[in-house]
Amino acid sequence: MESVGDQLEPIMEGVRAVFADKHGARERALPLCREALRHSANAIRAVHRQEFAEAEGLIDRAGGLLAEARASLRDHPDTYYAGFVHDAQKEYAEACATLAVIAGRPLPTPQGLGVELPAYLNGLGEAVGELRRHLLDRLRAGDVEHCEGVLAAMDDIYSVLVTMDYPDAMTGGLRRTTDAVRGILERTRGDLTVSVRQRELERKLAEFGKRLG
């Protein structure tokens, strides 16, 4: 009878081959996801600068990199769902949603973006923070009507996310994201309300001053 060592050797050769293949796929996909995440973050910055064409180019590059990463991990679902792909897809979905709302375009679908549902939903939630930033910028510029439209979009996103009452293991921690969205929405609504009331007061005071003059 063969020793345990002799029996283990061919088994371990097979194990090493599987791990080597998996490790190689991970090493190919990881830098692609990091680069995609960087492009997505830069796209969000471009959106805030109203440089929509640049944002689109960065988003296209991020999408291409994510497609490459997905192809690299096609035979390794455990690695695909390990976390780093989710993070990159979430940032990508966030960039796409931010661009769509601010530029007044249709929201992309998860299928159209080629991302998993948890990444898409969490990306939508993260986009609410970027929409708040945009709203405050426009509020300082006095564009109240636009701000009201952005707030309505933020409210719509929250209204959908709060209905996704499923375990965090399925949604990628969406409950935590949704809780953060609720806080952002409440603060933003308060900021907009105060600003509108202040502007109305200033208008009435100006009218009163004219009548006195």
Listed residues 107, 126, 156: the one ending a domain: 107
Q: What is the CATH classification number for the domain harbouring 158?
A: 1.20.58.2140
Q: Give the amino acid at 177.
A: T
Q: Is there a single domain that holds both residue 155 and residue 131? A: yes
> Domain range spanning residue 204?
116-213
Q: Is there a single domain that holds both residue 92 and residue 125? A: no
Check residues 118 and 193 and name the one with the higher pLDDT.
Answer: 118
Q: Indicate if the pLDDT at residue 206 is higher than 90.
A: no
Burial readout 113-142 (b: 16 or more C-beta within 10 A, e: otherwise): bebbebbbbbbbbbbbbbbbebbbebbeee
Percent of the chain residues past pLDDT 70, beyond the cut: 92
pLDDT digits (tens, 9 = 90+) for 134-190: 999 999 888 888 999 999 999 999 999 999 999 999 999 999 999 999 999 999 999
Structural domains in the chain (count): 2
Quick one: average pLDDT of 69-77?
95
Q: Is there a single domain that holds both residue 41 and residue 132? A: no
Cα–Cα distance, 162 to 67 (Å, whole number): 29
**Average pLDDT value for the chain:** 93
Q: Is there a single domain that holds both residue 77 and residue 176? A: no
